[in-house]
Amino acid sequence: MIIDRKMSAGVLNVSRRAVSLGFGAGALVLATGLPAFAEEAKPEPKWGGDGMPNGLRDDPTLFVSIAQDGTVSILCIRSEMGQGVRTSVPMVVADEMDADWARVKVVQALGDEVRYGNQDTDGSRSLRHHFMPLRRIGAAARQMLEAAAAAKWGVPVGEVEADNHEVVHKASGKKIGFGDLAKEAAAQPAPERDALKLKDPSKFRYIGKGKTSLVDNMAITTGSAIYGTDVRREGMSYAVVARPPVYGGTVATLDDSAALKVPGVLKVITLDPPKFPTEFQNLGGVAVIATSTWAAMKGRDALKITWEDGPNAVYTTTSYRAAMEEASRKPGKVELSVGDVDAAMKTAKSKVEAEYYIPHHSHVSMEPPVAVAEIKDGRCEIWTAVQSPQAAKDRVSKRLGIKLDDVTVHVTLLGGGFGRKSKPDFCIEAALCSKAMDGKPVLLQWTREDDLINGYLNTTSVERIEAGLDENGKPVAWLHRSTAPSIFALFMEDPKHQATLELGLGLVDTPFDIPNMRIETGAAPAHTRIGWFRSVTNVPHAFALQSFVAELAAAAGRDHKEYLLEILGPDRKMIPKTTEPWWNYGENPDLYAINTGRLRKVIEVVTKEAGWGRKMPQGSGLGLAAHRSFVSYTAAVVEVAIGDGGRIKIPRVDLAIDCGAHINPERIRSQLEGAIIQGISVAMYSNITFKNGVVQQTNFDSYELARMDIAPREVRIHLVDSTGYDAPLGGVGEPGVPPISPAIANAIFAATGKRLRSLPVGSQLAS
């Protein structure tokens, strides 16, 4: 279903009425009362979706409604940002309830975690956490329909069966459609969890098939799909904000007289600076509100502002990088220590060491941050493209002093998210602008320049690894120092070291079979807003680790793949012996221990499929990398071809994943294709640098992304046979990114003999 302009107002009513009255006008519904969910008393700790704020819900009356005409509406509580949730979520429910996909509609939920459970769409968690609850929702709805039919016909419930949108009594040949059963089904009690009969996976019609067309396909291809920036409200004005160029800066002087003379400019307001830690607060500055986006931008250009920069004006990339390098060359904070690294280093036959540098990255979703806010009768309504509508609701409520229940957040389609849109600072800005306009609706638009200059960047890091080797070139001692400013500086006094969450993203979970290993972090203060970006610190950690293993293989004169498999060691399940409790993506370490056999498998599959070892023409090379992230296992082989002047082409990429069962294989493939392209941007082009606290990249000319000309003509995704539907699922959205940049660096080495340790590749090969 499309959230069209008229519907976007209606969605509020639709979702609300699902609880007490039903879903949509004229619909007879399963919903019979307040949610029956009561949180189970469970021994701590909670893992997976149960461990997320507000947990999981699986009450069918909250999520499914059936209209008299048989239309089944299924609520999607996750945000659609290209990963396909608005297709995959209803697909799972529909399959379990035996609904006909052609008669299923998806309705986007409002932000309301008390009612729906956690809605924070990030961390590659939507299907990983929700697959089973969604199946339970579908199974419960099916069983309620079956019970209603059995009661109607006066036959035992065991004799009836749901089949493609109707319930059938085989013995008598009676059949009745879901629509005709809706009312009676709604009167049935929702089955208890242990009474649920999940479908046998061999009976799935949609799950695992990858044949389902995207629900928003028609809207997207005809321009009627509604993103945050497309929301239109009666009497709406448009706003842009001039924000401090340096993080933590404030307005020193403001002259808005010229701006106010720009035709169309309605108002100029000053926004207060945030308090530290800044978390998801807006950055302050000066907002210009006008009759069109264009007039607002012209008005902003005409503002005369001098800024008080504050202490972060010291932030300059060249000197900061030097400081990170220095920190990584001396002892740091020990995060994991196994065996005796110092002693083993001393007795090692030889030593190899290398230092890698990874810059900040910006999400630059094609739709920059944007929100519409409207305040009426003390209630605030927001329409926006956010990954965490609950965070938006909560922060707007706090900042404007409006009761939480009086803030409504409608989630539109997101024109990309990648972690940026988990942070609702722009929603607060929109609400403040609306307030200044006496509650009239205001669309608050970030420009691309705003997005680059005032974003939440992926961290930057220096990764230094030293290995002591035996006579066969195998590591007996391993010392890895990772120095990077932490995301957690957003939320608390700057810890200056990566937190357990960041360490768990590909650093302390290094899966190698090395008897003496120490992992340390160096200190690095944050001078900008560090946020999470697709794959987060897996990006720098994997770049360093998987480049370094290739370096060791080369030093030992060994084939990279053979060498990688050798240091991965025998198949085993590992739980890293970390100083602090190991953060394993929030998952139970026993269920989701590091499984080196699964990593080996994806390496074997991808090398076989890619023809690893095939003879390459002069100037071409293959590069390999493998990485576990978001409890999935990926491996990539990249082919590069170096042309005149060091120009790099990437003719082909093979990527294998083992993420457990494949719920919607079509979207797994598309996510991985996208991850390859995003990985190419990370490896080849993208680089945020600072000078005196100010980001130097302002648009796509200085912050470059992969384009069609570098996109591989051949992309091959290999879905490794899963562990089956009973095994816990891994993530899909993010795990494709980390292996790409090291595989590219390794391929460049294979093609040229040049080892690039600093990202991006940029013009480093230019001759």
Partner 1 sequence: MIKFNINGKEQSFEGDPEMPLLWYLRDVQNLTGTKYGCGIALCGACTVHVDGMAVRSCQMSLADAEGKKVTTIEGLSLDGNHPIQAAWRELNVAQCGYCQCGQIMQAAALLAEKPKPTDEDIEAQMGGNLCRCGTYPRIRAAIKLAAEKA
**218 near ligand FES, judged by CB under 6 A:** no
Taking the C-alpha atoms of residue 530 and residue 459, their distance in angstroms, rounded to an integer, is 6
Report the nearest approach of ligand FES to the CB of residue 664 (Å): 17
Which of 157, 366, 492, 591 is close enough to bind ligand FES by CB under 6 A? 366
Q: Are 565 and 521 in contact (CB under 8 A)?
A: no
Beta carbon of residue 651, minimum distance to ligand FES (angstroms, whole number): 22
Closer to ligand FES at the Cβ: 639 or 734? 734
* Residue 403 contact among partner 1, ligand FES, none, beta carbon within 5 to 8 Å by kind: none
Least CB distance to ligand FES at residue 224 (A): 16
Residue 371: strand pairing partners: 384, 444
Query: What are the φ/ψ torsions at residue 680 (nearest 5 degrees)?
Result: -65, -40
* Cα–Cα separations (whole angstroms), residue 722 to 97, 308, 515, 592, 626: 24, 56, 31, 14, 17
Shorter beta-carbon distance to partner 1: residue 712 or 735:
712
Q: How far is the CB of 236 from ligand FES (least distance, A)?
A: 21
> For the chain, what is the largest distance between any 2 Cα atoms, rounded to a whole number of angstroms?
84
Report in angstroms how near the CB of residue 221 gets to partner 1 at its nearest: 4
CA trace torsion 695, 685, 320, 354 (10° rounding) = 170
> Per the structure block, which two tokens stand in for 103?
């008669």
Residue (366 or 591) nearer to ligand FES, CB = 366
Contacted by 84, from partner 1, ligand FES, none: CB < 5 to 8 Å by type: partner 1
Nearest CB to partner 1, comparing residues 5 and 261: 5
Smaller CB separation from partner 1, 74 or 370: 370
Tell me the C-alpha to C-alpha distance, in Å, between residue 754 and each of 43, 554, 758: 54, 12, 12
Choice between 314 and 719, CB closer to partner 1: 719
Q: Rounded to the nearest 5°, which phi and psi values hold at 555?
A: -65, -35
Q: Are 309 and 249 in contact (CB under 8 A)?
A: yes
Q: Closest distance between ligand FES and the C-beta of residue 442, in Å?
A: 22
Residue 226 or 626 having the CB closest to partner 1: 226
Q: Is residue 452 within 8 Å of residue 370, measured between CB atoms?
A: no
Closest-CA residue to 499 (of 487, 510, 516): 487
Q: C-beta of 537: minimal distance to partner 1 in Å?
A: 20
715 binds, among partner 1, ligand FES, none (CB under 5 to 8 A by kind): partner 1
DSSP state of 510: -
- CB-based burial of residue 735 (10 Å sphere; 0-12 exposed, 13-18 middle, 19+ buried)? buried
| Burial 659-681, CB ≥16 within 10 A → b, else e | bbbbbbbbbbbbbbbbbbbbbbb
Closest CB to ligand FES among residues 550, 676: 676
Nearer to ligand FES, 124 or 293 (CB): 293
Minimum distance of ligand FES from residue 366's CB (angstroms): 4
In whole angstroms, the minimum distance from the beta carbon of 291 to partner 1 comes to: 8
Locus of tokens 């991985």 = 672
Residue closer to ligand FES by CB (options 80, 658) is 80
* One-letter identity of residue 494: D
Binding site partner of 224, from ligand FES, partner 1, none, Cβ cut-off 5-8 A by kind = partner 1
Tell me the C-alpha distance between 243 and 287, whole Å: 8
In this complex, which beta carbon is closest to ligand FES, that of residue 82 or of residue 760? 82
Q: Which does 294 bind (CB under 5 to 8 A by kind): partner 1, ligand FES, none?
A: partner 1
257-291 burial: b if 16+ Cβ within 10 Å, else e: eebeebebbbbbbbbebbeeebebbbbbbbbbbbe
Q: Which does 216 bind (CB under 5 to 8 A by kind): partner 1, ligand FES, none?
A: partner 1
β-strand partners of 594: 574
Nearer to partner 1, 53 or 263 (CB): 263
Q: Take residue 661 and report the two structure tokens written for it.
A: 């069962």
* Residue 523 CB, nearest approach to partner 1 (Å): 33
* Residue the block writes with tokens 């560090």: 530
Does residue 82 bind ligand FES (CB under 6 A)?
Answer: yes
Nearer to partner 1, 466 or 734 (CB): 734
- Contact assessment for residue 303 and residue 260, using Cβ atoms and an 8 Å cutoff: no
DSSP state letter for 377: T
Q: Helix, strand or coil for residue 71?
A: coil
Considering CB distances under 5 to 8 angstroms, the limit depending on partner class, which of ligand FES, partner 1, none binds residue 463? none
434 binds, among ligand FES, partner 1, none (CB under 5 to 8 A by kind): none
If the CB atoms of residues 71 and 121 are measured against ligand FES, the closer one turns out to be 121
CB of 448 to ligand FES, least distance (A): 8
- The terminus-to-terminus CA distance of the chain in angstroms comes to 53
Q: Which does 439 bind (CB under 5 to 8 A by kind): partner 1, ligand FES, none?
A: none
Applying CB under 6 A, what is the total number of residues that bind ligand FES?
Answer: 3
Strands 573-574 vs 690-691: parallel, antiparallel or unpaired: unpaired
Q: Which residues pair with 478 in a beta bridge?
A: 467, 517
Q: What span, in angstroms and rounded, lies between the C-alpha atoms of 384 and 103?
A: 28
Q: Which position's Cβ is nearest ligand FES?
A: 366
- Whether the upstream peptide bond of residue 511 has omega within 30° of 0, thus cis, is no
363 or 497, CB closer to partner 1? 363
CB 239, min distance to partner 1, A: 12
Question: Which partner in ligand FES, partner 1, none is near 748 (CB below 5 to 8 A by kind)?
Answer: none
Preceding peptide of 277 cis, ω within 30°: yes
Q: Select from 295, 276, 296 the least CA-distant residue to 287.
A: 296
Give Rg (Cα) of the chain: 27
217/318 with CB nearer partner 1? 217
The one of partner 1, ligand FES, none whose footprint includes residue 81, by CB under 5 to 8 A per kind, is partner 1
State which amino acid sits at residue 744.
I
Token pair for 574: 């590992």
- Angstrom distance (rounded) from CA 6 to CA 226: 11
- Among partner 1, ligand FES, none, partner that 324 touches (CB below 5 to 8 angstroms by kind): none
229 binds, among ligand FES, partner 1, none (CB under 5 to 8 A by kind): partner 1
User: What is the nearest approach in angstroms of partner 1 to the Cβ of residue 371?
Assistant: 15
How do beta strands 475-483 and 516-522 pair?
A: parallel
Chosen from partner 1, ligand FES, none, partner binding at 705 (C-beta under 5 to 8 Å by type) = partner 1
Upstream peptide bond of 60 is cis (omega within 30 degrees of 0): no
Residue 434 CB, nearest approach to partner 1 (Å): 17
**CB 6, min distance to ligand FES, A:** 25
Q: Which does 14 bind (CB under 5 to 8 A by kind): ligand FES, partner 1, none?
A: none
Q: Pick from partner 1, ligand FES, none: which does 706 bind, CB < 5 to 8 A by kind?
A: partner 1
Q: Which of residues 410-449 bind ligand FES (CB under 6 A)?
A: 416
Q: How far is the CB of 680 from ligand FES (least distance, A)?
A: 15
Contacting residues toward partner 1, per CB under 8 A:
5, 80-84, 213-214, 216-218, 220-227, 229-230, 232, 238, 263-264, 291-295, 363-368, 413-418, 445, 447-448, 666, 670-671, 673-678, 699-701, 705-709, 711-713, 715
Q: Rounded distance, CA 282 to CA 455, Å?
A: 11
| Binding site residues, ligand FES, CB under 6 A | 82, 366, 416
